[in-house]
Amino acid sequence: MFEVADGLWGWRRRHPEWFEEAEWEPDVSSFCVTSRGVTLVLDPIEPDDDAVWSRLDELQPRAAVYLKPDHVRDVRLFHDRYGATVYGEMDALEERVGAVERFEATAPGVELPGGVRLLDDGRWRRETPAYLPEQRTIVFADGLMCDPDGELRIWFTSWHEQRVVPALRQILAANEIEHVLVSHGEPVHTRDELEAALTRKPWSG
Q: Report the 10 Å Cβ neighbour count for 103.
A: 17
Q: How confident is the model at residue 190 (pLDDT cuts 50, 70, 90)?
A: very high
Residues 11-56 pLDDT 10s:
999 866 655 666 667 789 999 999 999 999 999 999 999 999 999 9
- Which of these ranges, 110-119, 143-152, 193-202, has the smallest mean pLDDT? 143-152
Residues 60-90 pLDDT 10s:
999 999 999 888 889 999 999 999 999 998 8
3-state secondary structure (DSSP) of residue 112: coil
Domains and CATH numbers, the chain: 2-197 (3.60.15.10)
- In this prediction, residue 147 carries a pLDDT of 87
End-to-end CA distance of the chain: 27
Residue 78 — left, alpha, or beta (φ > 0 → left; ψ -120 to 50 → alpha)? alpha
What is the CA 68 to chain-centroid distance, rounded?
8
- Interatomic CA distance for residues 91 and 77, integer angstroms: 19
